[in-house]
A and B are shown apart, each in its own frame.
Chain A
Amino acid sequence: MPQQPQAQPSPTPPPKKKKVRVPRVVNGVEQMVEIEVDDVAGPGWGPNDKHALLNHRITRVDGPLKVSGAARYTYDVRLPNMLYGRVRRCPHAHAKIKKFDSSAAMRMPGVKAIIQTPLTELRFAGSPVAAVAATTPELAQDAARAIIVEYEVLPHVVTADTAIKPGAPRVLAAEGPGSEDNLAAKGKQGDPQKVEAAFATCDAVVEAEYRTPRLHHCCLETHGMVVDFSGGDTATIYATTQGTFTIPQDAARELGLPQSAVTATVQHMGGGFGSKFGIGIEGMMACRLSKETKAPVKLMLTRSDEFLMAGNRSGSWQKMKGGAKKDGTLVALQATQYRLGGLGQGSQAGQPYAVYRASEFYREVYALHTNEDSGIAMRAPGHPQASFAMESMLDELAYKIGMDPVEFRKKNMRDEMYHRQLERGAREINWAKRNATPGGGSGPLKRGMGCAAGTWGGGGNDQCKVDVTVTRDGSVTVAVGTQDLGTGTRTYTRAIVAEELGLQIKDVVEQIGNSKLGGANSSGGSTTAASLSPSVKDAAYKARMELAAKFSPLLGNAKPEEIVFANGNVTAGGKSIAWKQACAALPPAGIVAHGVWRSDLQSRGVHGVVFAEVEVDVETGKVRPIKMLQVQDGGLPLNRLTMESQINGGMIQALGMALFETRVMDADLGVQLNPSFMDYKLPGSLEMPELIPLIDDDDKREVVIGIAEAAIIPAIGALANAVFNASGARIRDLPITPDKILMALAAERRSA
C-alpha cells in the first residue's frame, strides 16, 4: 500500500527543533512515530469561548451542493469514451482455478478487455478472479458472468469455533514461532501468577466469554475509481478515498507512468469509515483495464462486491475473568483475546480496555484465521470490540457486588475527567430513575439504562502543507490536498482563515482533495482535524502578518501587530479601511502564505461517555432504543454543528453494532449469506432513539483534537448494559437480537 512521502526536516541551520510523538496513518490504522518539528511559538487559538466563528454552529459550506444533487462524487464522473468495469468473484471459500476461459465473453457486444487475477489459489468467497471493461455496466456484467471459470474446491473454515480446533483446515501458511494451526500468538502481557493470587482476594468474580461479529462499513458510495487515461503521458484518478495522497504512486505503477504524471482527486465522497485507503484491488483492476484499452475506465464495486471483497471490521472472541473487592476496586483481570480478522490480523485493543485499570492483569492475544476477506480498519479499529467486553464485564461485577455501575466505574478509571462526564450524563438521563432490579417491574415492556466510557487519541501529524492566497480583489483562497469525507473539513478550513482575517465564511474559498495541492495526511485515526487545522491557522496567521505589513502605510504606518482584522475591516490607530479597499493596495499577484503544522495547536487524548435507555419486550425479545446521550470532550470544537452530527453518527453506528448488524456465514458452503442491504440490517429511521450529543465544554484545552472514532466506542457497551438493566438478560454475543434475549430469559427461569 502506498504511503505518502514523509516530510523530512530541513538539514540546514534551522530554527530550534523539538521532538514530538505523532500518529501517522497507514491503511487506516494509526502508528505512533517520533518526528522532529520546528520549535516555533506562534499565537494560540485563544480561549475556546472567545471565537468569532470557531466553536459556533456553522452550516456546511458544501451543504447546498449536496442537497441539490450538484455535488459530484467519484460515482458521478462520466467521461467521453469511458468504459465500465465489472468484477467476477470466486464463489468458493477456498479453491484453485483449474480453467479460465474468457474467449466467449470477449466476443460479447461492447466488451473491450478482460483481465485475470494473477492468483491461482483463492482463500475466501468473494475473491476477485477477473474484471471486464465494456461500454455499459450492463454489458460488462453480462460478460463478467460469461467468463468460464472452473475450480478445484479445497477445504475451508469460516467459523472461529471450528478454526481453533486441532485438525481444522489450514487457512494460511505458518506465521512463525508460536503459531500453530490457524492461531497466531500476538503477545502476552502481565503476570499470570500475580493475577491468580489477586483473584484469591476478590469478593466477586465474573468469568464469561464475549463475542462481536464481523461488521461491514456499508459506505453508501462503494469502493472504486474512474481512471482518466487514454494511453497518453498523464492520468487523472477520480477516487473515492480517505487518502488523496495514497492514490498516485500505486496508480502510476499500474499505468506505467511516473508518479508525477498522475493526479488523484476527490471532491466529495460517500463514506469511508476506515475502508478507503490506497487504490485497492478494484483500483488496480481499473488501472489495468484502462491501460489495456487506452480508454478511461470507471470501476465501482457493486453492493454485493462491496460486502464480499471490500473488507470488514474484524470480529472478536474474548474470554474474560475479572475480580473485584466489595468497595468496587477491580483487582484482577485475565483475558484471552482472539482477533477474528479472516485472512488478516484483525484488531482489538488489549484488556483491560484503556479507560480502566486493574491492579493485576494478564492477557494473551491471538489472531485466529478463517477463510474470509481480511478485516481492515473501521472507525476506531479494535476499540468497540474491547470496550463492549470490558464494559459488560464491569457491569456484571458491579451488579454482583451490588454497587451503582456509575460509581463502580469511577472507582476504576485512569482519568478523573471521566467522573465529571459520568456525573453529567447520569444527571441528563436521570440515572437515579433506572430500573432498581434488572428485569424488575410489571408488564412485558421493561425499561432500563446502561452506561459506558471510551477513549481515543485524535492527535495530528505534520503532513499538511497549506497555502493561503489573498489577491487584489480581496478574494481569499485556502488550498491543501486534504479530502473531506463529510466530516466538515471544508467548512472549518474556511472558518479558520475567515476568523484570522476578520472575514465571513463566504469570503473564503477552499481548494481541497487534489494531490497536486499541498501535501496532506490520510483521514484515518481521527487525525485530520488536528493535522490540518494547525497548518491552516499557521498559513492564515502568516497571511495576516504579511497583509498587515502591506496595509501599514494605509493606516498611518501602524505596526503590523497592532492592525486589527475584524468585521471585514482592517483597523489601527482609529483609522479603519474596508477589506476590499485595503487589498487593492496589494501587489498584482497578491500574497501567498505557506502554513506548516504546529504541535502546540493540537493535542491527543479524548474521553467520552454514553448513557442509553432502552425498552425490552420480554415476551418477544424486541429491544426499542429510547434515548442515547454522549458527553464528549475534544478540546476546541472547531464547529459545534458538525461535531454534534459526528457524535450522533458514532452513536448510530454503535446502535447498529449493538442491536442489528452481523455478517452471517454459512459454515458448510463458506459463503456470506447476507451480502446486501436487504439482509444486512442497518439501523434505520424507525429504530432511531432520541439522540443527544453533548459537547463537554468543561474541557478547557485550547487545542484541536479529533473525535470521530471516540464517538463510536462507548455506546455499544452502554446499550448492552441497558438491555440487562431493563430485562435481566445479559447478552454477551453481539448483536443483541430478540432470539438471544428470549433464550437468556428462558435459561434464567430454568436455573431459578
Chain B
Amino acid sequence: MSDEHEPKNKSSRHDPSRRKFLKGVGVAGAGAALVDHIIAADAKAAPKKSIVAGQPVSGTVDIVLDVNGAKRNVSVEPRTTLLNALRNHLEPAVTGPKLVCDMGTCGACTVLMDGKNVYACLVLAVDAVGKKLTTVEGFGTPENMSAVQAAFVEHDGLMCGFCTPGFVTTISAYLKKNANPTLDEVREACKGNFCRCGTYPRVFEAALAAAKAGRS
C-alpha cells in the first residue's frame, strides 16, 4: 500500500508525461493568473501550500466553479481537466459531458464557458474559475427540455446517446449565433463532434427543426 504522506513535491524521474507537464505548466505558465483566480474565488480557500513561480505545484487546490448557475466548491490537482473536475470531483457529479477521446477531437465533452463552446477535456479546471459554465444539464431537464433537446428526441437525433450531450451543447450554442442556419452551416457547426452510431442526418434535421421552432 502506498504512503499517503509521501512528500508530494518530490518530482518523479520516470517518463515525463503530458499530465506531469501540465502539472508544471499550472504554475510556470499560468501561475500568476491561477493564484489570482484562487484568491479571487474564495479568500478562505487559500492554496494548501505556498506557490512559487517556476516550481511545480502538486497536491490539490480549492477552487469554485460556476456550473449551470450554481457555485460549486471543489478541490482538484492543478492539472485536473475541467471535464474530470465535473465528472470525478464535483459532488454530486456533473456527468452530462462525456469523456471519450480526452484529447480534443470528438466533442463529447463540449460545454459552454462564458457562452462559448469549448472541449472540457482541453481546459484545466483552474482555468475555468470565474467563468460561467453551462453543461447539457443546464439547457433543460427530461421533464422540461429545451427546444433543441426536444427536437433531438422528436427527430431521433440519438441512438446510444453518448455523443448526444456534446451535439446538443454545440447546436444550442450555434443557434444563439445563427438563428436561421442552412443545412451546410449546421454541418460546419457540428464538424467538431463525432458520432459512431450514425445519427448525423437526424442531428442535422433536429438542429434545423429547433431553429425553425425558435423563429416561429
Q: A residues engaging B (CB < 8 A)?
A: 59-60, 62-73, 75-76, 78, 84, 104, 106-113, 136-138, 141-142, 145-146, 148, 217-222, 268-271, 273, 300, 302-303, 485-488, 641-642, 644-646, 648-653, 676-678, 682-686, 688, 690-691
Contact = CB atoms under 8 A, between A and B. Distances in A.
Interface in B48-102: 58, 77, 79-80, 84, 87-88, 93-102
Given A271-B160, A303-B103, 7 more contacts: A106-B1, A220-B163, A220-B195, A221-B98, A270-B98, A648-B199, A686-B188
Contacts of A68: 96, 136-137, 139-142, 145, 149
B196 interface: yes
A59 B162 contact: no
14 contacts: A64-B149, A67-B153, A69-B94, A109-B2, A146-B14, A220-B100, A269-B160, A303-B103, A648-B200, A676-B105, A677-B100, A678-B103, A685-B200, A688-B187
Interface of B: 1-4, 6, 8, 12, 14-15, 17, 19-20, 58, 77, 79-80, 84, 87-88, 93-103, 105-106, 108, 135-137, 139-143, 145, 149-150, 152-154, 156-165, 168, 186-188, 190-191, 193-204
A372 to B, nearest CB: 22
B200 A652 contact: yes
Nearest to A141: B19
Contacts of B77: 136, 138
Contact of A137 (B88, B152, B162, B204): B88
Contacts of A63: 152-153, 156, 158
B161 A486 contact: yes
A677 B157 CA distance: 22
B160 A486 contact: yes
B114 to A, nearest CB: 20
B150 to A, nearest CB: 8
B108 to A, nearest CB: 6
Contacts of B93: 76, 78
B88 A682 contact: no
Contact of B2 (A67, A112, A268): A112
Contacts of B8: 109
A266 to B, nearest CB: 12
B158 A60 contact: yes
B159 A688 contact: no
A682 B196 contact: yes
A256 to B, nearest CB: 20
Contact of B88 (A107, A136, A653): A136
Given A59-B154, A649-B197, A652-B200, A270 B2 contact: no
Contacts of A71: 161
Contacts of B20: 142
Contacts of B103: 303, 676-678
Contacts of A642: 156, 159
B6 A107 contact: yes
Contact of A220 (B96, B108, B137): B108
B200 A138 contact: no
A138 B19 contact: yes
Q: Kindly list the 3 A-B residue pairs having the minimum CB-CB distance in the complex, ordered from nearest.
A: A69-B96, A649-B198, A270-B162
Given A76-B87, A218-B196, A652-B198, A487 B159 contact: yes
